[in-house]
Structure 1
Amino acid sequence: MDFTWRQHKRIDEIKRTDFDALISPDPNFQTPFLSFEFLHALEVSNSVGPEHTGWFPNHIAIYDDEQLIAFIPAYKKSHSYGEYIFDHSWANAYHQHGYPYYPKLVIGIPFTPVTGNRFLVASKDLADKVQHFLSQNIALITQAAESSTCHVLFPNRDASENLKEQQILQRLSVQFIWQNNNYSDYSGFIDSLTSRRRRSIRKERANIEKQNVTVKRLTGYELTPEVQAAFYECYQETYLKRSGHTGYLTEAFFEQIFLTMNNNIMIVAAYEDEQIIASSLFFYNDQQLFGRYWGALTDVSGLHFECCYYQGIEFAIEQNIQTFNPGTQGEHKILRGFSPTLCYSNHYIAHPEFNKAIKHFLDEEAQGITAYKERASTVLPYKQDKQELKLEKTDL
């Protein structure tokens, strides 16, 4: 079977009916982000594409004859922001030796550090063939994008291992993921924790009520234009405080996803005197919950934990959702029941000497990351029998 590939500068260059015929190669790693709706929203809202964003769509479509059989989300980039896999030191090394590091090619979802499938296929029996095609042609794909490096961000473990077998460097990182141990209700989760952590969490949550703040979970028709506007105000305010800008994602992006992905969105809103003072936005499907964006207009002790963690756990249990990814980084998640979990990225480095040096760095880094994950797992707040069960599941 002879496959060909093409680069597409916009996702809508691909016929929508052809795109919609593609499926996830592994349902366990299907996310709302590798969807036409999400990627299209990024583009039409100018969250990616314009020069100032540094993200330029360069999607890879694989064809059998003229039939679309696979889609890979890809972007040329002029910087390393919004990826959550940090390679600034590599870029500096290139610069110091007189080599350009940018533009680079990134395969993944912008601003979304979530493990998932990195391509869609026309049928599951094509998955291995597409994976092999990508690994065999990554040098040509990178060269065609006028880049010298290609970075596959947050593939699942099996996909990453397949790329590693083809000498495409593997990098490890750690996120903190909550897992549903068939809890019948939130009390079942709390009862699985040590007594010390139960008391601490109950105290944190009770403190929100004492501050006269009411927290609600909103989905579907409850996501009114007023709620949407309040969320975006919170999002902008928090980004401005932390980073000096109003966020990577434009208001038009959020308007678009509320129109096209409403059934995959949940907002947790915190009210004071009937006004929203903080909110967090989640995406979800049948199996997974993803905490993605948070913002607040005022500081309320413990409110971030309530809106971003505890409300998410309650929602996951109610909906029988199996895993909850609250977002990248944050060791404070461990004591609230989120297990340290290995994540992966893969890196094609065309320059042989830089490839050798980066491989050496990654081999050493992997030892430290693995050791860190094991150390962090020892402070999980679960009772001993529950903790052992959790540790069996901490690999994506």
Structure 2
Amino acid sequence: MTIQTLERIGELPAAQWDALLADGQPFLRHAFLASLEDSGSVGARTGWQPAHRLLRVADGRLRAAMPAYVKSHSRGEYVFDWAWADACQRAGIAYYPKLLAAVPFSPVSGTRLLARDAPAAGELLDAVSAQLPGLRLSGLHVNFTDAFADGVLAGREGWLERLGCQFHWFNRGYRDFQDFLDALSSRKRKQLRREREQVKAQGLDFDWREGGQLTEAEWDFVYACYANTYAVRGQHPYLTRAFFSLLAARMPEAIRVVLARQGSRPVAMAFFLVDGDCLYGRYWGCLAEFDRLHFEACLYQGLDMAIGERLSRFDAGAQGEHKLVRGFEPVLTRSWHYLCHPGLRAAVAGFLHEECAAVRRYAEQACEALPYRQE
């Protein structure tokens, strides 16, 4: 077996990478990762240096792969390790650079170990872990894993598990939005209906498009909205304008965009990705302020769309307790961390032992805020 590092995913034919994917989720597709790189959204300049790992057998066949980036900071990850980095700085331990196996800027659980089987995935992990000291990397972090990766990582020497909590909506065979409302308690049902009526009263209409149905001028508008969500916080957006055009050209069937208009004037947008089973809410932005528009564009429009396309789940993004009262249920997420420094590893292990218990309690308590009727 040999380990190969790719500094650009474009060095590998898309068919070889995609052949290792276990499902149709869009975030690990070669087209998605290549669009991030080709658009300049990730790269050495942004502190996301691609360093994808491949495991090949003697005849050159690809047996396993891992999307990986050398990171010089912890931004855009959604698994927050800044406290670990601060502790290392105080102790004189180099925390950066580190190696991260993840999808940049995308807190969506899914494939992280692309492999023919579990032994191949384990062999790739062990080989990459052994390389870390020689490359002066403080550790390897694998964020937002799926069940396959969890099975490979659980109990593996040196690896620490971390839990997080998100809120996802599950389609229980609803015929339409009203059918979903009927499953809620009377008070919550009235709240959701009132919020939608408030948006409609402001003269707002919504227009759904697939990726190939937007013009470049409309993509300019989408990007202006997206960038504005960062500008109002004094931040720079993670993605470049070119990313959206590249993605629309390479995987238009996976893109859904809803445009909000007041009369003929576009005022907001929400950007989603979709596979055969799930809707993923990703980006949103507005160029004018409207009451309750965020809930309508990002949540209720998504629920309408998921019900209409008979999707089983709607992952509307990280965090957001406001989703609970709108029917989104707590879901545990997992990340795994291999830290080379033994003292740091021991300290983080103690912290995670307490944090994992607290996250489980939080998820259990969050269920009490769900709006569904009790039979």
CA distance in 2, matches of 1:325, 1:313: 10
State the partner residue of 1:278: 268
State the partner residue of 1:389: none
Q: Deviations over 1:276-333 (max 9, x none)?
A: 1110100001011100011111111100000000111111111111111101111000
Deviation for aligned residue 1:69:
2.0
Alignment of 1:302-313 (within 5 A): 302-313=292-303
Matched, 1:324 2:314: yes
State the partner residue of 2:49: 56
Alignment of 1:65-80 (within 5 A): 65=58, 66-80=60-74
- Counterpart of 2:203 (choices 203, 207, 212) is 212
SS at the partner of 2:26? coil
Deviation for aligned residue 1:42:
0.6
CA distance in 2, matches of 1:55, 1:218: 31
Aligned residue type for 1:149: G
CA distance in 1, matches of 2:122, 2:64: 12
User: Is the contact between residue 284 and residue 290 of structure 1 (CA under 8 Å) also seen in structure 2?
Assistant: yes
| Consecutive aligned runs of 4 or more in structure 1 exceeding 4 Å deviation | none
User: Is the contact between residue 118 and residue 155 of structure 1 (CA under 8 Å) also seen in structure 2?
Assistant: yes
Matched, 1:82 2:76: yes
Structure 2 gap ranges (5+): none
Matched, 1:117 2:117: no
CA distance in 2, matches of 1:186, 1:209: 16
Alignment of 1:32-181 (within 5 A): 32-51=26-45, 53-65=46-58, 66-121=60-115, 126-143=116-133, 145-167=135-157, 168-181=159-172
Q: Deviations over 1:232-270 (max 9, x none)?
A: 11111121002x134010001111111112110001111
User: Is the contact between residue 282 and residue 291 of structure 1 (CA under 8 Å) also seen in structure 2?
Assistant: yes
TM-score normalised over the length of structure 2: 0.96
Structure 1 gap ranges (5+): 386-396
Aligned length: 373
Deviation for aligned residue 1:383:
1.4
State the partner residue of 1:394: none
- Counterpart of 2:5 (choices 1, 4, 7) is 7
Deviation for aligned residue 1:144:
5.1
Deviation for aligned residue 1:145:
4.2
Matched, 1:364 2:362: no
CA distance in 1, matches of 2:360, 2:272: 29
CA distance in 1, matches of 2:14, 2:200: 47
Deviation for aligned residue 1:221:
4.3
State the partner residue of 1:388: none
SS at the partner of 1:83? coil
User: Is the contact between residue 3 and residue 127 of structure 2 (CA under 8 Å) also seen in structure 1?
Assistant: no
Aligned residue type for 1:163: L
CA distance in 2, matches of 1:256, 1:203: 39
State the partner residue of 1:18: 16
User: Is the contact between residue 107 and residue 153 of structure 1 (CA under 8 Å) also seen in structure 2?
Assistant: yes
Q: Deviations over 1:100-128 (max 9, x none)?
A: 1000000010000000011333xxxx221
Q: Deviations over 1:64-102 (max 9, x none)?
A: 121112221000000000000000010011111111100
CA distance in 2, matches of 1:228, 1:144: 44
- Counterpart of 1:341 (choices 328, 331, 338) is 331
Deviation for aligned residue 1:371:
0.3
Deviation for aligned residue 1:228:
1.4
Does the C-alpha gap of structure 1 residues 15 and 215 become closer, same or farther in structure 2, counting only changes over 3 Å?
closer
CA distance in 1, matches of 2:131, 2:286: 42
Deviation for aligned residue 1:183:
1.4
User: Is the contact between residue 237 and residue 246 of structure 1 (CA under 8 Å) also seen in structure 2?
Assistant: no
State the partner residue of 1:240: 231
CA distance in 2, matches of 1:300, 1:108: 35
User: Is the contact between residue 64 and residue 124 of structure 2 (CA under 8 Å) also seen in structure 1?
Assistant: no
CA distance in 1, matches of 2:134, 2:371: 49
User: Is the contact between residue 14 and residue 31 of structure 2 (CA under 8 Å) also seen in structure 1?
Assistant: no
State the partner residue of 1:222: 213
CA distance in 1, matches of 2:343, 2:279: 41
TM-score normalised over the length of structure 1: 0.91
CA distance in 1, matches of 2:228, 2:82: 27
SS at the partner of 1:363? helix
